Amino acid sequence: SGSRSSVHTALHTLLAARWPSQRDVRSCLQLLAVLQWVLSFLLLGTVSLLLLIYLVFTSLWPISALYLAWIIFDWDTPEKGGRRLPCLRRWRVWRHFRDYFPVKLVKTHDLSPNHNYIIGSHPHGILCVGAFCNFITGSTGFGEMFPGIRPFLTTLAGNFRLPVFREYLMSGGLCPVTRRAIGYLLSKNGTGNAVAIVIGGAAESLSCRPGVTTLILKNRKGFVRMALQHGAYLVPSFSFGENDLFRQVVFEEGSWMRSIQQRFQKMMGFAPCVFYGRGLTSVHSRGFLPYARPITTVVGEPVTVPKIKDPSCETVDMYHEMYVRSLLKLFNENKTKYGLSETDELHIL
């Protein structure tokens, strides 16, 4: 009798408990989607490298040997268009990733598949969430908005030297931010290619914080020279809300910590930012996950660029100025629509 009473009480308690709603389930799936992405970008390469090194000293050493042989054989693939997998771009988890923030793509002008393009992605932020979601995943409808255009996103060449991580990057359409890799996509891969470059790079990430719209662009002209050499049109894009995803400890210019960051950036190609976001269990705790802030990426009007094999510095400067004017126009026309005030300005250094 006592046992039956205990079971009855337990069942009654279980049935009376609040079951997760559809909203709770969606929120959990969105959080897990962002968690796997952050862990992949921060740890996948390092963990894979350490694991392969460990296997060398075990009976499973042939796995490491075979993978090393594969990397040597496949060494140039990242700079020859990579190995993108359409199924991974359509992975359902990216929809949950998109909805977590949420991320939205806005089209202002058509892009003809008869040309190639270099898309300037601004700002860098901490982890380039807007650029990744819009140009690497199909969750925001890039393919439907720009039919016939194949988007690529560039990242540090060193990432493609890390085992397993390189396969993960290539499968989505990422390629090294090198002249050879970008030149291949713009000259030997047909037309309809759009190569997105986060122009501000690591230097810009050091100044990333909420409420600040500063871009490192004034002396970044290599992308313009490449556009001229290949006749690729220049397209500005701006991700409103990118800088609101994390909080960063910004060290003043001239401080010893800032000097360490800048030296590390010059040596390794990326800057060691001190940042934090929300925790895994609560939005009020601190952790490494981005805050859920809306990101709207607006793709602007293409700047028509002629093909000049050896452009002069004056020509490069002229088209760089045209690009900057187009970017400023894009920013000023859209800033009040996506969270900024009329008085906010875009500072270009």
Question: Encoding tokens for residue 109?
Answer: 């002008």
Return the pLDDT at 2: 46
Distance separating alpha carbons of residues 309 and 39, to the nearest angstrom = 42
- Residue-by-residue pLDDT tens, the chain, 349 positions: 446 666 667 666 655 666 667 888 899 999 999 999 999 988 999 999 999 999 999 999 999 999 999 999 999 999 999 998 888 888 999 999 999 999 999 999 999 999 999 999 999 988 899 999 999 999 999 999 999 999 999 998 989 999 999 999 999 899 999 999 999 999 988 899 999 999 998 778 777 666 668 899 999 999 999 999 999 999 999 999 998 998 877 666 667 666 766 676 666 655 667 778 999 888 888 888 999 999 999 999 999 999 999 999 999 999 999 999 999 999 999 999 998 888 888 889 8
Q: Is the dihedral of CA 303, 240, 41, 273 positive or negative?
A: positive
Q: Give Cβ neighbours of residue 103 (< 8 Å, ≥ 6 apart).
A: 97, 129, 130, 133, 134, 139, 140, 294, 295, 296, 297
Return the pLDDT at 266: 66
Rg (CA), the chain: 23
For the chain, domain boundaries: 22-348
The per-residue DSSP string of 223-254 comes to HHHHHHHHTPEEEEEEEETGGGS-EE-PPPTT
Q: In what order do the strands lie in the sheet with 247-248?
A: 247-248, 275-278, 286-287
CB 185 within 8 A of CB 175: yes
The predicted model scores a pTM of 0.89
Distance separating alpha carbons of residues 140 and 94, to the nearest angstrom = 9
Return the pLDDT at 15: 58
Distance separating alpha carbons of residues 244 and 187, to the nearest angstrom = 37
Q: Give Cβ neighbours of residue 32 (< 8 Å, ≥ 6 apart).
A: 96
Q: Which of 312, 330, 316 is nearest to 224 (CA)?
A: 316
First to last CA, the chain: 79
Q: Which of 139, 145, 146, 144 is nearest to 172 (CA)?
A: 139
Return the pLDDT at 257: 67
* 14-22, long-range: CB < 8 A, 24+ apart: none
φ and ψ at residue 132, rounded to 5 degrees: -65, -50
Strand (E) or helix (H) holding 268: helix 256-268
